[in-house]
Chains A and B, each alone.
Chain A
Amino acid sequence: MANVLKVEAVNRSFGDRRVLEDVTFSVEAGRMTGFVGANGAGKTTTMRIMLGVLAADAGEVTWQGAPLTRELRHRFGYMPEERGLYPKMTVTDQIVYLARLHGLSVDAARRNTAALLERLGLSDRGGEHVEKLSLGNQQRVQIAAALVHDPEVLVLDEPFSGLDPLAVDVVVGVLRERASAGAPVLFSSHQLDVVERLCDDLVIITAGRIRASGSRAELRAGYAQPRFAIQVDTDAGWLRDEPGVTLVDLDGARAVFDLAPGTDDQAVLRAALARGPVRSFGPVTPSLAEIFREVNQ
């Protein structure tokens, strides 16, 4: 069975408030899937249901085609949005304990903990109480807590919030490594630029419904109007009068414009070349923020 984590028609209400409505998407093996949505759109609730922390009212979550059980979930790595560790326990004790709760033997738990702390640059902090650490280091310990049992699936709720840029790089490195080893990685974030940089696939949720999901390239193609950017040597204002061209942005010799359907972009390029040198010309892919804005409209 393929290593796919599937969320199928999941519904959940809190009292009268419907927070998830037929939420369906899948997280493919070996791919980083970004999960984006506004605050309160249902990201955290979805992830909690995937981890079995919350029960779904209807629908199910499957891994390799089988509904999730606690045994299967033991192989998940989870980082909740609300971070937390025992303040008065040492870093090592804490991570070893969490590893053992996931079923690791004492030896394996110790070994993994040491290796992971080394990787995260926390080797010399193993004996310290978590409350004594800086916030950045506490976040790294939190990441260690999610990864210590060599999970086959990663579900991370806002893993980058509160991280300093160095820690972001470390975490990105670790996640990439897990993904290329074949693990499905789902992470939510409100930092769209980070998601854009990292994700292979994208799931967009709005008010409890999945509005778009698929590979980043597909989504881009789907939501991209035929938009182009051009850089010439002189003023590009003449584009305004070209048939089929709508100027989006004009800044002297640089312009961004949309083309009406059926208009040949090469015709515009030829027109530009007829007026002088063209330094650059090409389609503009929409940023994730733009797609997100459009999906949310």
Chain B
Amino acid sequence: MSTFAAAQLVAAREIRVKLRDKTFLISTAFFLLIAVASTVLPPILEGGPTEVATADRTVAAALRQAGLEVRAVAGDAEAERLVRDGDVEAAVVAGPTVLGLDEAPDEVVEALSTAPPVRLLDPDATDPFVAFVVPFALAFLFFMTSFTFGLQIAMSVTEEKQTRIVEILVASVPVRALLAGKVAAMTLLAFGQIALVAVVAFVGMRIAGVGADVTALVGPTIAWFLVFFLIGFVMLATLWAGVGALAARQEDINGASAPLQLAVMGPFLAVLFLQENAAAMTVLSYIPFSAPIAMPVRLFTGDAAGWEPVLSLIVLAASTLVFLAVGARVYEGSLLRTNGRTSFATAWRSRSTVG
């Protein structure tokens, strides 16, 4: 049997086990819920357009043109009553005077006044809410997914070591097939989960009637994010597998994976706090560990040139190859050392198994 066929068998088992795992199913449902909630809810909560009562036809026409909802009434008295009762937000009575309950209805005032022409020198195309939520969501998704799935890879490797089944496995298939199967299975599941969330979020935005300008911006960002995620996750997954092999028992994983946890959490926090710092974001978008978050964010904010994601992706892919080799070597060197935690150096030196 070829290494590839063996890796497929290993991956199939991992996926079967995972799909029966309640934690996985619940976390997927949870992410989907957040995706739906964060895209569909805000427009709904904002409510419909402001409703204005008026008896004046010309005023009504001007208000409609400004996108407000007009309720035609017989006279000013009725218009005032509607405002007092809270049935409409504002009314326009003779004068014309604008009636509000406790605050000046700016939209109505604006619709009826002649504003001087305005020319913005640095127009901010995106809604500030969207501008905040998209980078945060990307960073959070990558962090959560690579952390939880990564930890599960480590646990699944340690489980095989701790239960000693690993010796039967190693006697049957090449160590690399074991590693490749595990990484492939988890990448597939993590990518599937995140792609599902992305699609749901995107569709949610369309349904919620978010402007075409926003979807046109978010769409490519999500697409780039998925590509970066895929490669970035493979890199981390191999390292998690190596870390899992260093630990002899589940209890050791936390200690063994501390540096890796930092490498996952650091970029998340850095992108979150340095979002406004263009220079820092440029650097972050080329460092392999933070690129999967920082580059899509820069693309979203329009700070990155067209060639930049491609270059960053090449850097990421190259370092993934390097880390694949590192992770695989550590994995091979420590898999059969079942007595206590193996140090990185020992694992690196001892290539005891036969390919």
Contact = CB atoms under 8 A, between A and B. Distances in A.
Interface string A133-149: 00000000000011000
A102 B336 CA distance: 20
A10 to B, nearest CB: 13
Interface string B34-47: 00000000000000
Contact of B353 (A53, A78, A86): A53
B163 A87 contact: yes
A53 B164 contact: no
A103 B1 contact: yes
B173 interface: yes
Interface string B132-166: 00000000000000000000000000011001111
Q: Interface SS of chain B: helix, strand, loop or mixed? A: helix
B232 to A, nearest CB: 29
Contacts of A51: 171
A53 B159 contact: no
Interface in A103-126: 103
Contacts of B160: 84, 86
B285 to A, nearest CB: 41
B126 interface: no
B165 to A, nearest CB: 4
A107 B169 CA distance: 21
B337 to A, nearest CB: 11
A74 interface: yes
B165 A85 contact: yes
A150 to B, nearest CB: 14
A101 B2 CA distance: 10
Q: Interface SS of chain A: helix, strand, loop or mixed? A: loop
Contacts of B193: none
Contacts, number: 66
A125 to B, nearest CB: 18
A54 B17 CA distance: 29
Nearest to A44: B167
Contacts of B352: 54-55
Interface in A270-286: none
B174 A84 contact: no
A82 B169 CA distance: 13
Nearest to B167: A80
Interface string A81-106: 01111111100000001101111000
Interface in B1-42: 1, 6, 9-10, 13, 17
A293 interface: no
B354 interface: yes
Given A53-B170, A55-B352, A97-B9, A86 B165 contact: yes
A47 B169 CA distance: 15
A74 B1 contact: yes
Interface string B318-355: 00000000000000000010100000000000001110
Given A98-B172, A102-B172, A145-B168, A53 B336 contact: yes
A89 B163 CA distance: 12
A34 B179 CA distance: 35
B159 A101 contact: no
A123 to B, nearest CB: 22
A73 interface: yes
Q: Top 10 nearest A-B pairs by Cβ distance?
A: A84-B164, A84-B165, A80-B167, A82-B164, A84-B163, A101-B172, A103-B1, A51-B171, A52-B354, A78-B171
Given A54-B352, A76-B171, 8 more contacts: A53-B170, A70-B174, A82-B167, A84-B163, A84-B165, A101-B1, A101-B10, A101-B172
Interface of A: 48, 51-55, 70, 73-74, 76, 78, 80, 82-89, 97-98, 100-103, 145-146
